[in-house]
């Protein structure tokens, strides 16, 4: 599969590494997002790229010296007693403006906690002849060693890149599939390029899902465990919370009840999962995130969501070879699972876009009680930038919908919203899996429309 997206990241890295004077760059993000591939594409032929591992400190220095010796003959003929001596030797030998990239930097810090202080000293001297790039998949450790205000390296980076998943709009061309199929596949693979690359090797979605994820021998069968191991000190607690949320407990009271914990004790671990972008905290449209008491939690990563919904609860059956049985469970509940992904993509698509002649702010959902007992939910709600217009949307991931009936129901529900009187204009929108059975003058977004603007 060809290298996808990352044009902006590549542009920023190349620009920073070509400036006069030494640059210090931090690149981080979760596993499998293509950080290493991006760096290798940006680095020039004579730059040094080093992938750290879990070896002891002295071994790591020896391995780095060997990597440098490929470009600078004899560099590894010396045994460097510490990191400072190695970096100073490289600074003396290297071509001015070259780059040293230390990938999986957290492994180096685990073997030598003083390494960030050593780099701080070298950076503060402002006498380096080379650019320094550090990269890592452990988001928490990268934050601790480079971005936390208590870190020796805090405030010294000239460029900080946090890689995010690739947008779904790239998926149809990557896998040669339709926009509708892309929504289904994105519900599992998300925007992780490595997952797309693995999926491409199979003839269809079903066989890829079976062989990569459901099979105990599949490459991705234990993937979430590896992701959590990168960032979580308490792997058991994190996995437990993700499993509870993935199986439908979304309010903190429900999560606490299933975990048999006091709700107050879960605030910190849930906040950590949100920071790591593994969990989203969602609040109803119009409420303040800081003081809203109606927040609910969802798994933000599609594959982790799939894992805790369809793999983790059935691991024993899968180990016994009952893959066919679990496949039937997936098939039975997958439309609902797809629908959840479709809603998210629809909200993402209209955020910051012009719809019905108006530019809208970030979209969210609204749910709550109206009247004495009626509870309603609006899938997509967004306010125009001038705060005069309200966009409201209904998302359906089913076939053969009647647009007229859906619009009538949506307009009826909207009139019950407690804040609807604030707006001069309402823009109702339908987000449908396929064209409706009837003709309509209303605004309808199909998968190809959503992917085009996302």
The CATH homologous superfamily of the domain defined by 7-162 = P-loop containing nucleotide triphosphate hydrolases (3.40.50.300)
**Residues lower than pLDDT 50 in the chain:** none
The pLDDT of residue 3 is: 62
pLDDT tens column, 305-343: 999 999 999 999 999 999 999 999 999 999 999 999 999
Beta pairing class for 24-28 and 48-51: unpaired
Q: Domain 170-335's class?
A: mainly alpha
Beta pairing class for 358-359 and 159-162: unpaired
Instruction: Copy the structure tokens of residue 19.
Output: 């400036």
Q: Domain 351-453's class?
A: alpha beta
424 vs 431: CA distance, rounded Å? 23
The pLDDT of residue 2 is: 61
Pick from 155, 130, 160, 135: which is nearest to 22 by CA?
Answer: 130
Model pTM above 0.85: yes
The pLDDT of residue 1 is: 57
Q: How many other CB atoms are found less than 10 A from the CB of residue 3?
A: 12
pLDDT tens column, 253-302: 999 999 999 999 999 999 989 988 899 999 999 999 888 989 999 999 99
280 vs 266: CA distance, rounded Å? 15
Pick from 336, 416, 407: which is nearest to 368 by CA?
Answer: 416
Q: Where are the alpha helices (DSSP H) in 193-293?
A: 193-199, 205-208, 223-231, 235-246, 252-259, 267-275
Residue 250: CB partners within 8 Å, gap ≥ 6?
A: 296, 297, 298
DSSP string, 227-241: HHHHH-S-HHHHHHH
The pLDDT of residue 173 is: 94
- Map out the domains of the chain as residue ranges: 7-162, 170-335, 351-453
């Amino acid at each position: 599969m060809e290298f996808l997206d990352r044009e902006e990241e590549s542009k920023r890295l190349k620009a920073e590494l070509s400036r006069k004077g030494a640059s210090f760059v931090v690149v981080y993000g979760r596993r499998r997002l293509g950080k290493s591939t991006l760096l290798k594409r940006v680095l020039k032929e004579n730059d040094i790229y080093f992938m750290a591992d879990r070896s002891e400190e002295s071994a790591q220095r020896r391995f780095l010296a060997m990597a440098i010796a490929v470009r600078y003959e004899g560099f590894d003929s010396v045994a460097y007693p510490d990191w400072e001596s190695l970096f100073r030797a490289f600074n003396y030998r290297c071509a001015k403006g070259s780059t040293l990239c230390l990938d999986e930097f957290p492994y180096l810090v685990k073997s030598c906690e003083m390494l960030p202080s050593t780099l701080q000293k070298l950076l503060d001297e402002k006498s380096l002849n080379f650019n320094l790039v550090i990269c890592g998949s452990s988001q928490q450790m990268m934050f601790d060693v480079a971005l936390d205000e208590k870190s020796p390296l805090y405030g010294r980076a000239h460029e900080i890149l946090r890689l995010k998943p690739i947008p779904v709009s790239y998926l149809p061309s990557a896998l040669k599939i339709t926009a509708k199929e892309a929504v289904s596949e994105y519900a599992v693979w998300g925007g992780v390029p490595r997952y797309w690359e693995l999926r491409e090797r199979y003839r269809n979605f079903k066989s890829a899902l079976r062989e990569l994820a459901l099979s105990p021998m599949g490459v991705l069968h234990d993937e979430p465990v590896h992701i959590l191991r990168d960032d979580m000190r308490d792997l058991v607690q994190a996995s437990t919370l993700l499993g509870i949320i993935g199986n439908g407990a979304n309010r903190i009271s429900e999560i606490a009840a299933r975990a048999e914990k006091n709700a107050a004790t879960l605030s910190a671990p849930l906040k950590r999962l949100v920071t790591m972008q593994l969990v989203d905290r969602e609040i109803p449209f119009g409420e303040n995130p800081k003081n809203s008491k109606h927040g609910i939690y969802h798994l933000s990563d599609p594959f982790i969501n799939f894992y805790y919904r369809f793999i983790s609860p059935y691991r024993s059956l899968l180990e016994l070879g009952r893959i066919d049985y679990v496949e039937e469970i997936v098939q039975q509940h997958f439309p609902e699972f797809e629908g959840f992904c479709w809603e998210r993509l629809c909200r993402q698509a209209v955020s910051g876009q012009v719809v019905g002649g108006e530019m809208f702010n970030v979209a969210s959902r609204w749910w709550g009680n109206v009247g004495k007992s009626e509870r309603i939910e609006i899938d997509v709600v967004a306010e125009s930038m001038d705060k005069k217009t309200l966009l409201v949307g209904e998302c359906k991931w089913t076939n053969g919908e009647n647009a007229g009936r859906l619009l009538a129901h949506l307009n009826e529900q909207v009139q019950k919203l407690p804040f609807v009187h604030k707006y001069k204009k309402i823009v109702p929108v339908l987000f449908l899996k396929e064209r409706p059975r009837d003709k309509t003058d209303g605004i309808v977004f199909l998968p190809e429309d959503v992917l085009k603007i996302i």
